[in-house]
A and B are shown apart, each in its own frame.
Chain A
Amino acid sequence: MLDIDIADLKKISELIYQKYNYDFRNYAMSSFKRRVLRILELKKMTVDGLLRKLTDTPNFVNEFLDELTVNVTEMFRDPSFWRIMREEILPAIMLNHKQFKIWHAGCSSGEEVMSMCIMLKEMGILHDVTIIATDLDVNILEKAKSGSYPAKNMELNEKNYIRFQGTGNFKDYYREENGNAIFHKELLANVSFRRHDLVLGDIFNKFDLILCRNVMIYFNQTLQNEVLKKFHESLFKYGYLAIGSKESLIWCDYANRFIVVNNEEKIYKKIKD
């Protein structure tokens, strides 16, 4: 059985931190271990081989990050979440602000950003919203920026869109070319994609809504706590935070500065500075 012990995992995260300033030291152990094992298998390497390659070949770190971070997502994941966004959360924000700002934290290849833009377009407010989408991984940001996805993923995305009860026709948002679905440029016109590290990065703006769904599940509780503090600081008072449907913040220090707006979809509202 191919296995790796915790001491070796720590060596790897320590090396990446010291040499490249990426901090995986507080990542959840079970998934971090699987990701590293996956890389060893893909690259046919031993732990020592991996440590050597990371030490000797600085370019390798981007490739390593690309495989280490989880970039599996789908458009309109959890259609019921998107319905609540459309019918409750965004209308509540718009009561007070005609124009507002959204942060997709840990946007990966951008499926969630694209879902948001499609929804905003259908609501007729795409141009009233400024979106900042961030990720740690520069390669995946390039992918997100391109708005181009494998056409074979569209079946699932369209199914989700139909369950979300989108008001248009999903196929109208892209054209197919060489096995890719290329989404219309206009959809991402107000989106700025930036590299940002949730763990080591600073607060950079204030938002009315932050989406960070199924990102913090890869962090341990210490790190979740720190990241929640950053989100708290990055939200306007009465701003909203959406996390994954099976995540919870109740054990975080800052939990009492939020109220639960929707428990099923894990949408919180900042009520205290």
Chain B
Amino acid sequence: MNKFNLNNSYKAVVIGGSAGSFQGVVKILSQLPKGFPLPIIMCLHRLKHVRNGFVEALSIKSVVQVTEPNDKEPIKKGSVYLAPSNYHLSVELGNYFALSTEEMVNNSRPAIDITLSSCAYVYKEKLIGILLSGANRDGALGMKHIHERGGTTIVQEPSECMIDTMPRAALGVTKIDHTLRTDQIVEFFKELDKKYR
């Protein structure tokens, strides 16, 4: 029952995803253990000009209401956050969010690399990074930073992905601790949750 060798010292989970990741995210959020103790910070590629609708769509089946943080908003345990459209989402030392309108990175704003790298910097080994299905290489460098700072890295099993470019890119540049199907990621969250009980 200790498949993933987890402990209760983690401070946050960060998830990146792009094309084909919506289903996986919904599945994870809908089966999240009730009272899950960590903040979940998500950066998913989305249409730049559509500000509304995405967070609502994700919230329908989610155990926890998903919110798009404002700039400087404190990060709370057990909350699920989504990077707002047309802003990069970072985490600051002091455990609050920062938004920015800087240049696109990997043709993306929000860029997964920015969110992942800033989380890696702030949470170091107390971070779990998950990269899901996607059609470009955004997130690979961020996963590398998470690994270098001692965090745990997970990618979605490429054969399960609608488009596997993103997890494969991460597998190509850094050590990935676990390559998991969505249902195994759900199990991972359940095991993690138990460590905090």
Q: Which residues of A contact B (CB under 8 A)?
A: 1, 3, 28-31, 34-35, 70, 72-73, 77-80, 159-160, 163, 214, 216-218, 221, 224, 244-248, 251
Verify A70–B72 contact, CB threshold 8 A: no
With the chains together, A34 CA to B103 CA distance in Å?
A: 11
With the chains together, A23 CA to B91 CA distance in Å?
A: 23
B165 within 8 Å of A (CB atoms): no
What count of chain B residues pass the 8 Å CB interface test?
27
Which residues of chain B come closer than 8 Å to A77, judged between CB atoms? 86
Q: Chain B contact residues: over half helix, strand or loop, or mixed? A: loop
Verify A30–B98 contact, CB threshold 8 A: yes
Which residues of chain B come closer than 8 Å to A73, judged between CB atoms? 101
Verify B148–A1 contact, CB threshold 8 A: yes
With the chains together, A1 CA to B143 CA distance in Å?
A: 12
For residue A223, give the distance in angstroms from its CB to the closest CB of chain B.
11
Verify B145–A1 contact, CB threshold 8 A: yes
With the chains together, A73 CA to B99 CA distance in Å?
A: 14
* CB-CB under 8 A for A217 and B71, given A31-B90, A246-B99: yes
Verify B99–A248 contact, CB threshold 8 A: no
With the chains together, A135 CA to B145 CA distance in Å?
A: 35
Which residues of chain A come closer than 8 Å to B101, judged between CB atoms? 70, 72-73, 214, 217, 244
Which residue, of B68, B73, B101, B145, has the highest number of chain A Cβ atoms within 10 A? Answer: B101
Which residues of chain A come closer than 8 Å to B87, judged between CB atoms? 246
With the chains together, A159 CA to B70 CA distance in Å?
A: 26
With the chains together, A29 CA to B84 CA distance in Å?
A: 20
For residue A111, give the distance in angstroms from its CB to the closest CB of chain B.
12
Which residues of chain A come closer than 8 Å to B72, judged between CB atoms? 221, 224, 248, 251
Verify A29–B73 contact, CB threshold 8 A: no
For residue A3, give the distance in angstroms from its CB to the closest CB of chain B.
8
> When the two chains form the complex, which single residue of B70, B100, B102 contacts A248, counting CB atoms closer than 8 Å?
B70
B93 within 8 Å of A (CB atoms): yes
Verify B103–A28 contact, CB threshold 8 A: no
Show 26 residue pairs from A and B whose CB-CB distance is below 8 angstroms, ordered by the A residue.
A1-B144, A1-B145, A1-B148, A28-B98, A29-B92, A30-B92, A30-B98, A30-B118, A31-B90, A31-B98, A31-B102, A34-B100, A35-B102, A70-B100, A70-B102, A72-B103, A77-B86, A159-B49, A163-B49, A244-B71, A244-B101, A245-B51, A246-B68, A246-B84, A248-B70, A248-B73
Closest to A159 in B: B49
B40 within 8 Å of A (CB atoms): no
Which residue, of A3, A217, A218, has the highest number of chain B Cβ atoms within 10 A? Answer: A217
Which residues of chain B come closer than 8 Å to A79, judged between CB atoms? 49
B114 within 8 Å of A (CB atoms): yes
With the chains together, A16 CA to B44 CA distance in Å?
A: 37
